[in-house]
């Protein structure tokens, strides 16, 4: 059986509890406690009483206080009034569910309920009107059935006090006297033993009580069995749910433990990689700062010497041009310049070119060293990024990068980057390999 079907069976097997009673009225030995939980229940109770005492309405004799049938008719009249109040209360309840002014109708319903309760109390408690289940009511019913209404009325007159004997006894037929005598004998136990009629009435009353008790016990037994089944179903459902939750918790705990172990291992690996990366970064921080400073220094001097080189080249060209122009201007026409003047001009030109060449070499050196420092900084940053992204798992790859990163730095002078050789340098280099 599935859990849904089991839950549905549990919900439908248990009886619904009764609502709170409309009112509670203790009739004592004359009917017990009346506590109807619905209008249908109290209507059934009143209709049962009216059916039992229906023969009283056929009596159309005197209806004065002293008449033997007056008390029974008065009790029957109160029952009918209670029934009418009950109908009015039920109508008030129905109207309260339809109209907006339900508070007024609810108050009227409550008032009619109290009136119904009051009429029943006046009949059964104040007027001693016998309840249909009592032995006195059964005895009255026996006399009415075996004799006539007058006999039953006179028997009831003994129990329904006060009775004006002067107006009720005289002039009654013989059956009335029979009912009066039997009522006195039963009430005051004049013969010392229980009469047959009284015993039969008690047996009938007891039989009715037994039937009600059996019905009550049967209903309660069914309710108790339903509650027991309900409890067993709930117990089994709770047990199954507990087992299911234990199983699920165990599976979840195993799964969570495996996931936790995986996360823990991954975390440890990440922390180890982070530690290595941090150590690598800390190890490369000083070189990176060093090369950043070198890059900045060489960049500054490269700009300075570049500007000086440009100005030197322009100045040297201008100065040499001016000296050559001055030499040719001071030389007479169709004559060669003086030798010493040419020698001095050549010497000045050699030293000028040599100085400009030195300045250019300084500019090229700083420019080369600036580029080298920039490349090393880029290599450091790339190396750290590759380390963090696990792209340098091989020790060989890391060694290659570190060798390139920490290679010896040159002076930045490249032979091809220099100025062309001067005449004096060509002369001085003759014979050298």
pLDDT tens, 303-320? 888 888 888 888 888 888
> Is the separation of the CB atoms in 75 and 137 below 8 Å?
no
Structural domain contains residue 69: yes
Structural domain contains residue 207: no
Residues 177 and 301 in one domain: no
Residues 138 and 12 in one domain: yes
Residue after which a domain boundary falls, among 193, 214, 235: 193
Render the burial of 114-150: b for 16+ CB within 10 Å, e for the rest: ebbbbbbbbbbeebebbbbbbbbbbbbbbbbeebebb
For range 157-174, the mean pLDDT: 56
Structural domain contains residue 264: no
Residue after which a domain boundary falls, among 160, 193, 226: 193
Residues 287 and 183 in one domain: no
Could you give the CA distance from residue 413 to residue 97 in angstroms, rounded to a whole number?
Answer: 107
Q: Which two tokens stand for residue 234?
A: 């709930």
Instruction: Give the model's pLDDT for residue 45.
Output: 92
Instruction: Give the confidence band of 44 by pLDDT, cuts at 50, 70, 90.
Output: very high
Average pLDDT value over all residues in the chain: 75
- pLDDT greater than 60 at residue 163: no
Tens digit of each residue's pLDDT (9 = 90 or more) over 266-302: 988 888 877 777 766 666 667 777 778 888 888 888 8
Q: Which candidate, 146, 142, 143, 159, places its Cα nearest to that of 30?
A: 159
Could you give the CA distance from residue 245 to residue 251 in angstroms, rounded to a whole number?
Answer: 10
Residues 286 and 176 in one domain: no
Structural domain contains residue 90: yes
- Per the structure, the complete domain to which residue 181 belongs is given by 3-193
Structural domain contains residue 66: yes
Instruction: Give the confidence band of 33 by pLDDT, cuts at 50, 70, 90.
Output: confident
Q: What is the number of structural domains in the chain? A: 2
Residues 133 and 280 in one domain: no
pTM equals 0.47
Residues 284 and 186 in one domain: no
Residues 146 and 282 in one domain: no
Residues 173 and 80 in one domain: yes
Residue after which a domain boundary falls, among 193, 223, 257: 193
Instruction: Give the confidence band of 46 by pLDDT, cuts at 50, 70, 90.
Output: very high
Compute the chain's Rg from CA coordinates. 64
Residues 179 and 303 in one domain: no
Structural domain contains residue 283: yes
For range 344-361, the mean pLDDT: 83
Structural domain contains residue 307: yes
Residues 308 and 410 in one domain: yes
Structural domain contains residue 219: no
> Is the separation of the CB atoms in 108 and 102 below 8 Å?
no
Instruction: Give the model's pLDDT for residue 7.
Output: 47
Number of neighbours of residue 315 by Cβ within 10 angstroms: 13
Residues 298 and 183 in one domain: no
> Is the separation of the CB atoms in 70 and 64 below 8 Å?
yes
Residues 33 and 178 in one domain: yes
């Amino acid at each position: 059986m599935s859990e849904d079907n089991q839950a549905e069976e549990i919900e439908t097997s248990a009886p619904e509890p009764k609502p709170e009673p409309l009112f509670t009225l203790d009739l004592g030995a004359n009917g017990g406690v009346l506590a109807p939980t619905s209008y249908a229940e109290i209507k059934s109770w009143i209709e049962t009483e009216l059916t039992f005492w229906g023969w009283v309405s056929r009596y159309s004799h005197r209806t004065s206080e002293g008449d033997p049938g007056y008390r029974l008719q008065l009790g029957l009249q109160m029952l009918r009034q209670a029934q009418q109040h009950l109908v009015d209360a039920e109508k008030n309840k129905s109207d309260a569910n339809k109209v907006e002014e339900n508070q007024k109708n609810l108050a009227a319903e409550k008032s009619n309920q109290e009136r119904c309760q009051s009429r029943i109390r006046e009949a059964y408690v104040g007027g001693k009107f016998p309840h249909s289940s009592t032995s006195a009511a059964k005895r009255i019913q026996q006399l009415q059935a075996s004799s006539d209404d007058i006999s039953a009325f006179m028997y009831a007159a003994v129990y329904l006090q006060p009775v004006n004997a002067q107006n009720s006894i005289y002039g009654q037929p013989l059956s009335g006297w029979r009912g009066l005598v039997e009522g006195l004998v039963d009430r005051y136990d004049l013969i010392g033993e229980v009469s047959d009629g009284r015993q039969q009435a008690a047996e009938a009353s007891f039989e009715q009580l037994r039937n009600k008790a059996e019905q009550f016990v049967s209903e309660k037994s069914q309710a108790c069995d339903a509650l027991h089944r309900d409890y067993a179903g709930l117990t089994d459902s709770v047990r199954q749910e507990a087992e299911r939750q234990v199983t699920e918790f165990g599976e979840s705990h195993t799964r969570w433990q495996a996931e936790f172990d995986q996360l823990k291992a991954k975390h440890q690996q990440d922390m180890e990689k982070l530690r290595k990366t941090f150590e690598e970064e800390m190890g490369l921080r000083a070189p990176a700062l060093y090369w950043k400073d070198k890059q900045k220094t060489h960049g500054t001097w490269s700009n300075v010497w570049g500007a000086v080189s440009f100005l030197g080249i322009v100045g040297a060209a201008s100065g040499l041009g001016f000296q050559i122009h001055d030499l040719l201007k001071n030389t007479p026409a169709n004559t060669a310049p003086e030798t010493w003047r040419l020698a001095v001009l050549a010497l000045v030109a050699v030293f000028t070119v040599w100085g400009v060449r030195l300045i250019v070499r300084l500019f090229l050196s700083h420019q080369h060293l600036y580029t080298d420092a920039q490349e090393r900084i880029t290599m450091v940053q790339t190396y750290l990024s590759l380390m963090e992204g696990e792209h340098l798992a091989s020790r060989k790859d890391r060694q290659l990068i570190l060798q390139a990163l920490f290679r010896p730095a040159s002076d930045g002078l490249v032979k091809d980057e220099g100025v062309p050789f001067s005449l004096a340098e060509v002369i001085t280099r003759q014979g050298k390999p």
